[in-house]
Amino acid sequence: MSEVKKFFQERNDDIEHMGNDEVLKQKSLEWMLHADQYKYTYNFTWMGRPIIKFPQDILALQEIIWETKPDIIIETGIAHGGSIIFSASMLKLVNNNGKVLAVDIDIRQHNRIEIENHPMYKSIKMFEGSSTDLEIVEKLKNEIPKNAKVMVILDSLHTHEHVLEELEIYSKLVTEGMYLILPDTFIEFFPKGYYDNRPWDVGNNPYTALMEFLSKNNDFIIDKKIVNKMMITEGIDGFLKKVGK
């Protein structure tokens, strides 16, 4: 075995063992809860725009995009624009003709101005409206070139009903071998009532929608190699690879 293969084999073994460490998982969850007191995920930017993610999630997305080299990345939820700027910059690295298609029900004017003035905006097209509005979905489909490799990130309203509808719609747009990313599944593992001013909670969130979706869909699998090495992540079990058509 070459030294390169040996390195990756040892790494894979460590990741697998770490994924079975329930004590570390609990400590990681406790750390996330503690750090959230300071809005930890709000403290980072990507190329000048706030990107509301744990650094581990950003790094994992980089690995996925570099490995799969999508032509199109669809994102639901725009907020300050950091995530779509990140996706656009990654597409620039792997494919100069790649494009980010982004949807948000309310693109706030101050954020729109910053995003549209950003050097990565030439690789982005934004749509204002509900991500589950079939007219919006049709507009997105019209932007996807024939035979394009499509990746999807669902990060809009986090209720079970909405996310499940998104999963049913957007899973059909993901091409075989590509990823569907579902952030904010960690809501299920935070204390009940933690988001007291939000419409989601334990039992009603992206994780519960994910479990229902997977119980009826065999085209996707959870990529445990990614999940097991993250530990501190907003996307617990939320990295899905499409293995069927």
Q: What is the pLDDT of residues 4-51, one digit of tens each?
A: 999 999 999 999 999 999 999 999 999 999 999 999 999 999 999 999
- What residues are paired with 179 via a beta bridge? 241
Say what the pLDDT of residue 25 is.
Answer: 96
Tokens found for residue 121: 């905006």
Residue 97 has pLDDT above 90, yes or no: no
pLDDT band at residue 1, thresholds of 50, 70 and 90?
confident
Residue 152 and residue 170 in contact, taking contact as beta carbons nearer than 8 Å: yes
Residue 173 has pLDDT above 80, yes or no: yes
Residue 65 and residue 90 in contact, taking contact as beta carbons nearer than 8 Å: yes
Q: Cβ contacts of residue 79 below 8 Å, gap of 6+?
A: 50, 52, 104, 111
Interval 201-228 mean pLDDT? 96
pLDDT band at residue 63, thresholds of 50, 70 and 90?
very high
Taking CA atoms, 175 is separated from 38, 150, 196, in Å, by 38, 5, 37
Tokens found for residue 159: 């209720």
Phi and psi angles of residue 19, each rounded to the nearest 5 degrees, phi first: -65, -20
Residue 175 to residue 241: CA distance in whole angstroms: 10
Taking CA atoms, 150 is separated from 49, 75, 86, in Å, by 24, 11, 16
Residue 163 has pLDDT above 90, yes or no: yes
Interval 74-84 mean pLDDT? 97
Say what the pLDDT of residue 244 is.
Answer: 81
Residue 152 and residue 180 in contact, taking contact as beta carbons nearer than 8 Å: yes
Phi and psi angles of residue 32, each rounded to the nearest 5 degrees, phi first: -60, -40
Residue 18 and residue 231 in contact, taking contact as beta carbons nearer than 8 Å: yes
Residue-wise over 196-221: b if at least 16 C-beta within 10 A, else e? eeeebbbebbbbbbbeebbeeeebbe
Q: For 45-98, where are the E strands, in sequence order?
A: 45-46, 49-50, 72-76
Say what the pLDDT of residue 108 is.
Answer: 96
Q: What percent of the chain has pLDDT over 70?
A: 100
| Model confidence, pTM | 0.96
Q: Work out the widest C-alpha separation in the chain, in whole angstroms.
A: 56
Tokens found for residue 117: 């003035």
pLDDT band at residue 76, thresholds of 50, 70 and 90?
very high
